[in-house]
Chains A and B, each alone.
Chain A
Amino acid sequence: MLELSILFPSVLNGLTTGAVYALIALGLTLIYGVLHIINFAHGAALMIALYGVYFLHQALGLDPYVSLPIMVPAMFAVGYVLQRLVIGASSHGKDENILLVTLGIAIVLENLALYWFKSDTRTIDTPYTLATVDILGALISAPKVVALFGALGTAAILLLIIGRTDLGRAIRAIAKEPLGARLVGIDVDHVYAMSFGIGLACLGAAACFLLPAYYVNPTVGNGFVLIAFTVVVLGGMGSFAGALVGGLLIGVVESVGGLWLGESLGQIGIFLIFIAVLLFRPQGLFGSRV
């Protein structure tokens, strides 16, 4: 059962699936690290992004990868507006209210999508949707391999933004000490909104890489939310490297777990890891001690 001929492709598959989890988690971890928000609307936002990629393809014939430069800024804008006008304004900074607001946003987005786009599952067909890449005998889905590089690239860009730009400096300052940051003149509300925007922009990228290998319908985001949270916790809340490594790791665990215990029971590996990390190493792999 677990001979190399099956294990090897399984691990590779896990890595590529994990890359998508990483892309989703990158945004979530930024939002948590800076705003300390557990964003319940993340799955719904992913769904909106997927619809965006879908319609760009259907209406304008744009290839999902070509849509990247459109989707990323578009989702950024959505995120900025949401944080600035809705979440920030309504929650008065209280954690439990932020929770409810993001929950409310998730309900609204999901049902708007249901109303506008109907409930059918939609897929796109591109020349490379069913293509595979041969890696030492294992046939790995080509769109998913691209997703892997996409995740690496996105993580790298995020690290650059956080490490090298003024915005990044401001974000780091606010994450560490919001009051102090305000006192030295940083426009905290603006930076919060920028962070939320970047978080959703990652989802824009994730959607471009995910749609060729998957599908979209109004409830599609729900299947990724829990896993994304697990990755964020495993990697360390607020750490991009953590989200990347965590995502890949979870992907592999899910894949090998599924192989060993069956797809249904295999899911348990993910959550047992989640619990174990929280109990024994809450800062995650790369996070700093809380």
Chain B
Amino acid sequence: MFGVAVAFAPAFVASGYALNAITMTLYAALLAQSWNILAGFGGQFSFGHAVFFGTGAYAMAVLQVKFGWNAWAALAAALAFGAAVGAFVGLLTFRYGLRGSYFALVTLAFAEVFRILANTFPFTGAGVGLMVPLRASAFDLQPASRAGYLYFILVFVLASLLISLWLKHSRYGAWLQAVRDNEESAAALGVDAFRVKLQAIVVSSTLMAAGGAFYVQYLHYIDPHLAYGPGVSVEALLGAIVGGLGTVWGPLLGAGVLHVLGEATRGLVGDAPGVNLVAYGIVLILIVTFMPHGIIGLLRRRPPTKLAHA
């Protein structure tokens, strides 16, 4: 339903600026939704989600630039690589029982390691980064129209929403949330916590990789800092927490609100460098203060989930 509404947006919104704004908001929403799957539903907070994003981005770029693959094929591969890295990280960290802050920090370290590796090898362009040539055609997954990109990202956002909905109501989702709320009890009840968490991280990482692939196709350039740096990791968790952890619509809403906030502070506070970001930071703190359960929490006037302390 939501998807239908947004899909018609390009018909009403002719402004290139607004279309770009919607597209970038959806992109941020995708990042937030994927993070939310692992953190909100799964209770595993990652500070290094960029590791999946960057993998998708680089897969997309390297396959096209160095191997001449078609963009659609590269996209499929990017998703696969994202899933693979998700499995890798999940296997290592969950096998060793890392949770809470430890899990968060180790993901941060993984993102850094990947960043340094990407920065070292000419294969990924090293510090120079990779530029995907401009070819405006649907065949090359570079829609000539603005609206095309919007549909591209919309598909994935819809996918993430459907997955989140499914997690909210399915038996698997219940297992996952049980593990989030109390892993020992869940295990005692017979839930295979390890497997459940691993599946969650793979889903999450695949969606993040989609975000990375989109970024490359939209901006045509990637480098180690953009791919694996803290910027993306922060963007992912911001939208989810502000919107409402563990909810279906929270991250999408959060991404939207943050986008509007960014624009508003830029437009209203003037041109002196930095002032708008000060305003942004203050509002962020205020949002957290007055909406401790995110925006969704405020709208429902009771906590949507009860999260165990990390």
Contact = CB atoms under 8 A, between A and B. Distances in A.
Contacts of A92: 292
B65 interface: no
A199 to B, nearest CB: 16
B292 A279 contact: no
A24 to B, nearest CB: 16
A97 B105 contact: no
Contacts of A101: 285, 288-289
Interface in B271-310: 272-275, 277-278, 280-282, 284-286, 288-289, 292, 307, 309-310
B116 interface: yes
A272 B113 contact: yes
Interface string A51-78: 0000000000000000000000000000
Interface stretch (B71-79, B93-101, B177-185, B201-209): B93-101
Given A96-B245, A233-B105, A265-B120, A115 B285 contact: no
Contacts, number: 132
Interface residues of B, number: 46
A273 to B, nearest CB: 9
B237 interface: yes
Contacts of A131: none
A95 B105 contact: no
A278 interface: yes
B92 interface: yes
A285 B245 CA distance: 34
A106 B127 CA distance: 27
Given A268-B113, A278-B106, A279-B92, A111 B119 contact: no
Q: Which 6 A-B pairs have the closest CB atoms?
A: A107-B281, A90-B289, A108-B281, A114-B274, A111-B274, A115-B274
7 contacts: A97-B288, A110-B277, A111-B281, A226-B112, A233-B102, A279-B92, A290-B102
Interface of A: 32, 36, 38, 86, 89-92, 94-97, 99-101, 103-108, 110-115, 119, 218, 226, 229-230, 233, 237, 264-265, 267-268, 271-272, 274-275, 278-280, 282, 290
